[in-house]
Amino acid sequence: MKGVFSIKGFWISLGILVALSLTLIWNTQTLTNYVTPLQEKLVEAERLVSQEDDWQGAIALTEEVYKSWDEHKTYLQISLPHAQIEDIFSILQESLAYLKYEKIGEYSATNERLLFEMGLIYEMETLSIRNIL
């Protein structure tokens, strides 16, 4: 006669829990490794505009970020809420427009918003009590 609780069922459940946890950790690390260089490029673009008045350099860096975001769209759509992905696309387009028209104030504000949104990705995917509850 089998009881309600079986050792085999326990190990299977534990295995599934460990596999899910490892997948979550891997995904978080992958997203962090992807987003951090993009954020660094955006910070560099801001520096180019504010310190060196190099609008073309800032445009080139921001376009690199846009292309990279677009190339990884499928993975991002699997990993993140679609609204957040589209928000970042929209902010990137807005940022590029301000760069092309050399609107420093608007560009800086948009770039900060973009950096903030990208920072939320890491925060949302990090394994923490706050995210679990």
Residue 87 domain flag:
yes
Domain count of the fold of the chain: 1
What distance in Å separates the CA atoms of residue 47 and residue 45, rounded to the nearest whole number? 5
Global pTM?
A: 0.83
The CATH number of the domain where 99 resides is what? 1.20.120
Written as one string, the DSSP assignment of 48-106 is HHHHH--HHHHHHHHHHHHHHHHHTHHHHHHHS-HHHHHHHHHHHHHHHHHHHTT-HHH
Residue 1 domain flag:
no
Q: Can you give the pLDDT at residue 28?
A: 85
Q: How confident is the model at residue 8 (pLDDT cuts 50, 70, 90)?
A: confident
Q: How much of the chain, in percent, has pLDDT values that exceed 90?
A: 67
99-112 residue pLDDT tens: 999 999 999 999 99
Q: Is the pLDDT of residue 128 over 80?
A: no
Range of the domain at 99: 7-132
Residue 58 domain flag:
yes
Residue 27 domain flag:
yes
Q: How many CB atoms lie within 10 A of CB 99?
A: 26
What distance in Å separates the CA atoms of residue 5 and residue 96, rounded to the nearest whole number? 59
- The secondary structure element, H or E, covering residue 4 is none
Residue 2 domain flag:
no
